[in-house]
Each structure stands twice: as structure tokens, then as C-alpha cells.
Amino acid sequence: MKRESAAPLNTPASGLEGSDATASQAVKTQLRLREMILAGELVGGSRIAELAIVEKLGVSRTPIRAALVRLEQEGLLEALPGGGFAVRTFTERDAADAIELRGTVEGLAARLAAERGADDGLLAQARECLEEIDAVLARPALDDSAFLNYVTLNQRFHNLLRDMAGSAVLAREIERVVSLPFASPSGFVVHQANSPQARDMLIVAQDQHRQVLVAIAQREGARAESIMREHSRIAQRNLRDVMQGHDAGRMPGARLIRKAL
């Protein structure tokens, strides 16, 4: 029997590779557009001009439109009645409410993790993560590299806390709220970098991390929930400091927040 010749390596099998490439391009386009919005390259309130984006990014309209839809779902864009999208702006109350919502859903995750019993492997990973954060905070002064390391570790800890609840529904809601830059667990770390109290504030946050982990391990649901809700209050205070100061432009996404008159 004659063997069928193999398809050339550069030929997609049933179009799957081509589909994957298109999806990958859409994700990359989404990330780049997100960066442009947070950096202020796309001004809050302005309509997105697709042709200008096509020329700037050098990609076709298909991945750009997919990226715009995803960013609208994240809350960074709003769909216009006549079609197309505009960059959203937020009031200080919007930002505060988003942070409050993050504290609420993360508090629920902590309570469920405690009441249902968190996975031992996840608890061990969370403890290791906190030890790494301790090592960062042990330095007498934190440089840019240390702050970046903290942001990475802090995000990892919050992700582990989310996973401890064992709820796909809750995980999706947490992902939705933290997609807004000022509502993420590390949304204000850049602002804190030049603050004399920066290291002290991070130490307070780290103590709350440890306390919630103890509460989860000891199956104290109400206590775990209360700690995480209080944890978000640090971000609330930092939001007020940023909006009252003169360096709001340094924080990613701060240009999207309208100062109260």
C-alpha cells in the first residue's frame, strides 16, 4: 500500500495552526492596546479609531476587533450606540467601589477556603510565597527591582488564595474585578515606591497575608473573610493619597480616573 505523503511542515493541518496563530495575535493585540490605554496613549473618553490602530500595530482589523471586545468586557472600553468603542473613564467613587468589590469577593474566597478546607498543597505554596515576600521586605530600602519582585509575589499569593476556594465561578468574578488596574492587589505599589511609608505599608499588608492564611488553616471562615476585606482598605487609602497628590500620572490607569470637583 502506498503511504500518503506527510503534509508540509508549514501547512496548517485542518487549519488548526492558523486558528491558533490568529488567537495568539488577538491576545498580543489586546495586551498592547491595554498598555496604550493605561499609559494614556489612548485618552480617556476618546473614540477608538480602528484604522489608526491598524497602522500603529501593523495587524489586521480582525485581531483588533477581537481585542476591543475583550477590553470592553474587562471594563476598560465602552461600546458606543452607533458602533465602535471609546476609552472609559471612571469617577473616584467608581475606583473605590471596584476596590471594595475586590475586597468582598476575595473575602468570600477566603471564607469558603476556610469552611471547605483548603488544599494542603496550595497552603504550602502560599507559605513559601510569603517567605519570599519576607525576604524582599527584609531589605532596609526597596529599589525598583525589589518593588517589581514584590508585585509578582503578591499577585501569586492572591491567585493562590483565589484557588483555595475551589470555585470556578468565584475565580471568574475575581478575575473580572481585578482586570481594572486600580482594583488589582498591586495597583498602587508603583505609587508607594516613592513614599517614605512604603515599606511600612507593605509590612502591614504582609502581616494580613499571614493572618488570613492562619485563619484559613484553622477553618475560621468569618475571621478570614474579615481580614481580606480589611486588606483592601489599604488600597482605598492609597487611592485617596494618589488622587490628592500630584503624581497620579505615575500609576498605570490613573489617567482614567476623574478627580472629584
Average pLDDT over every residue of 169-194 = 77
pLDDT digits (tens, 9 = 90+) for 205-257: 999 999 999 999 999 999 999 999 999 988 888 787 777 765 555 565 667 88
Partner residues linked to 79 by β-bridges: 85
Task: Write the DSSP string, 98-113.
Answer: HHHHHHHHHHHHHHHH
Average pLDDT score over the chain: 83
Higher model confidence: residue 72 or residue 221? Answer: 221
Q: Tell me if 202 sits within 8 A of 188, measured CB to CB.
A: no
Band (3; pLDDT cuts 50, 70, 90):
very low
Report the pLDDT value the prediction gives residue 74, as an integer from 0 to 100: 81
Q: Fill in the DSSP letter of residue 119.
A: -
> Quick check: 259 pLDDT over 70?
no
Q: At 121, is the secondary structure helix, strand, or coil? A: helix
Q: At what angle do helices 198-217 and 92-116 cross, to 10 degrees?
A: 30
Q: Which of 11-25, 96-110, 145-159, 177-191 has the lowest mean pLDDT?
A: 11-25
Reference 202, options 251, 256, 157; nearest CA is 157
> Quick check: 43 pLDDT over 50?
yes
Report the pLDDT value the prediction gives residue 4, as an integer from 0 to 100: 40
Report the pLDDT value the prediction gives residue 103, as an integer from 0 to 100: 95
Report the pLDDT value the prediction gives residue 5, as an integer from 0 to 100: 39
pLDDT digits (tens, 9 = 90+) for 135-144: 999 987 777 7
Pairing of strands 90-91, 85-87: unpaired
pLDDT digits (tens, 9 = 90+) for 5-32: 333 333 344 443 455 666 678 888 888 8
Report the pLDDT value the prediction gives residue 178, as an integer from 0 to 100: 85
pLDDT digits (tens, 9 = 90+) for 78-124: 999 988 999 988 888 888 898 999 999 999 999 999 999 999 999 99
CA 52 – CA 61 distance, rounded (Å): 11
CA 249 remoteness from chain centre = 18
> Quick check: 66 pLDDT over 60?
yes
Percentage of the residues of the chain whose pLDDT score is greater than 70: 81
CA 92 – CA 244 distance, rounded (Å): 11
Helix intervals (H) in the chain: 16-39, 50-57, 61-74, 92-116, 120-137, 144-164, 168-178, 189-192, 198-217, 221-244
Band (156; pLDDT cuts 50, 70, 90):
very high
Q: What domains can you pick out in the chain, each with its CATH number? A: 16-87 (1.10.10.10), 90-258 (1.20.120.530)
Residue 94 grid coordinates = 467608581
Report the pLDDT value the prediction gives residue 19, as an integer from 0 to 100: 57
